[in-house]
Amino acid sequence: MKKIILILILLPALSFGAFAQTMPSADEIFAKYVAAIGGKDFLATITDLNIQMSTEMQGNSMNITLKQKAPNKYSRVMLAGGMEVFKITSDGTKVAMGGMRGNGQVLEGKDAQQSILQGTLIPELHFAELGVKSTVEGIEKVDGKDAYKVKHTAADGTALWTDYYDTTSGLKVQSVAMQKSPRGEMQQTTQYADYKDFKGLKYPSTISQGNGQFQMQIAVDKVKINDGIKDSEFVVK
């Protein structure tokens, strides 16, 4: 009887020990992701990306262009009927929001930190040098499949966002972040699916983004690698 009781007492500890041993580190998860989307050597040759996307909003067709340049410059422009609805630009130190819905606001310092880090070209390759601390918080279901939940924190301790990586393929399937809005902070969830090969780079061809009240389905139409994007496209005034 004493042996049975001892085994029952030890079972939770043994289960936890097995869990701790099989759970990969954040660096191991990032390495698997990097390998899955093209490999570290190939990704190191990418200096810029020009991504063309399309979606619909309230029955209106919209085009989105995302441009990223190493290490952390980016711009995202949304057009409807040829009219600029929204634009966000970062020169790597500041972030400007323009267009009909951008109100010309410029973010700097801590206010711009999360946006700049997320806009970094393939951030998983640079988290360590950027001082980002990443912690694996377990496994959760994303669209019915197991995914590692990895929470990112800035060097100053500020909570940033959380990424989810498929436990089997290694691909990033979801990101969750708190975003500021006129109504206060809102949780924004972005899901990545249907990864396709774009000249050696695996990139999601379907992106779903929403905050609970609003959901947008985005199709990735083209991904251009090393398109020769000029620094002048990322000027923040």
Task: Give the pTM.
Answer: 0.87
C-beta separation of 73 from 92 below 8 A: yes
Q: How confident is the model at residue 100 (pLDDT cuts 50, 70, 90)?
A: low
Q: How confident is the model at residue 230 (pLDDT cuts 50, 70, 90)?
A: very high
C-beta separation of 234 from 90 below 8 A: yes
pLDDT score of 59 more than 90: no
C-beta separation of 72 from 127 below 8 A: no
pLDDT score of 3 more than 50: no
Predicted pLDDT of residue 57: 82
Token representation of residue 139: 């496994």
**Residues of the chain with pLDDT > 70: what percent?**
87
pLDDT score of 5 more than 90: no
Q: How far apart are CA 92 and CA 54, in angstroms?
A: 26
Predicted pLDDT of residue 173: 98
Which domains are delineated in the chain?
A: 25-234 (2.50.20.10)
Average pLDDT value for the chain: 88
24 forms beta bridges with none
Residues 6+ apart with CB under 8 A from 145: 166, 167, 168, 173
Q: How far apart are CA 224 and CA 199, in angstroms?
A: 9
Q: How far apart are CA 174 and CA 145, in angstroms?
A: 11
pLDDT score of 24 more than 90: yes
Q: Using one digit for the tens of pLDDT, what is the confidence trace for 166-194?
A: 999 999 999 999 876 555 678 999 999 99
Q: How far apart are CA 123 and CA 165, in angstroms?
A: 14
C-beta separation of 69 from 46 below 8 A: no
Tell me how long the chain is.
237
Q: Using one digit for the tens of pLDDT, what is the confidence trace for 108-157?
A: 999 899 999 999 999 999 999 999 999 999 999 999 999 999 999 998 89
Predicted pLDDT of residue 183: 56
Token representation of residue 229: 């994007």
Quickly list H helices, 38-162.
40-43, 110-118, 127-130
pLDDT score of 165 more than 60: yes
Predicted pLDDT of residue 175: 97
Which stretches of 99-237 are assigned E, i.e. beta strand? Answer: 105-108, 133-142, 145-153, 159-166, 172-181, 184-198, 201-210, 215-225
Predicted pLDDT of residue 122: 96
Distance of CA 179 to the CA centre of its chain: 13
The burial of 75, by beta-carbon neighbours within 10 Å (0-12 exposed, 13-18 middle, 19 or more buried), is given as: buried
* End-to-end CA separation in angstroms for the chain: 76
Q: What mean pLDDT is predicted for residues 65-94?
A: 94
